[in-house]
Amino acid sequence: MTPNGMRILDSWGFNSDKARAVYAEQIRMVDAKTLEPLMVDSFTDCEKEFGHKMKFFHRADLHSVLRSMAEAPHSEQPGEPVSLSLGRTVVDVDCETGTILLDTGSIRKDLVVLADGIRVMAQLLCSSPSWIMIVVS
Ligand SMILES: Cc1cc2nc3c(=O)[nH]c(=O)nc-3n(C[C@H](O)[C@H](O)[C@H](O)COP(=O)(O)OP(=O)(O)OC[C@H]3O[C@@H](n4cnc5c(N)ncnc54)[C@H](O)[C@@H]3O)c2cc1C
């Protein structure tokens, strides 16, 4: 996680220790046969230069702590706890009406965020200049 990313996580009260982060001090790419360093990138000055350290996380640990924060009660985290619905497939979104068409039915929301990764749905829906952002609440 870059210093910029860490700054955002810290502002949310993210607990790096709980997510078993380790400080990223250096990355080396080495020759597979000789182990001679081909590229060495040092991150030891990150905090001085950018205000935060660079950290490594295991993806599952990062997810797990972010998820527990999102689902935490108001007494532990600001805002209402998020309700997650997993294992559903979005087949279409009507941006005008905020209607999300699932393979099992449809739901309507005031705000819809499309975060389907490298998939094409967001690109297709957002290719029109009239769409700015789509959010699910
Ligand atoms: C092999 C590999 C290694 C990587 N290593 C690193 C790394 O070390 N550090 C790093 O910072 N980044 C790494 N990345 C990049 C990082 O994984 C992505 O940049 C990041 O996951 C993108 O997050 P996202 O939320 O946009 O999309 P995703 O993580 O792809 O999440 C999209 C989600 O949407 C769901 N979805 C898609 N379509 C639908 C649909 N129609 N209905 C319902 N759900 C849907 C998918 O199932 C998925 O859960 C790596 C990527 C790969 C492939």
Q: Over the stretch 64-78, which tens digit does the pLDDT of each residue have?
A: 999 999 999 999 988
Residues of the chain with pLDDT under 50: 129-137
Q: Whose CA is nearest to atom 41 of ligand 1?
A: 90
Q: What is the pLDDT, as a whole number, of residue 93?
A: 87
| pTM to 2 decimal places | 0.80
Q: What is the pLDDT, as a whole number, of residue 126?
A: 55
Distance from the alpha carbon of residue 83 to the mean position of ligand 1, in angstroms? 20
Q: Whose CA is nearest to atom 53 of ligand 1?
A: 118
CB-based pocket (< 6 A), ligand 1: 89-90, 115-117, 119, 121
Distance from the alpha carbon of residue 36 to the mean position of ligand 1, in angstroms? 32
Q: Whose CA is nearest to atom 3 of ligand 1?
A: 59
Length of the chain: 137
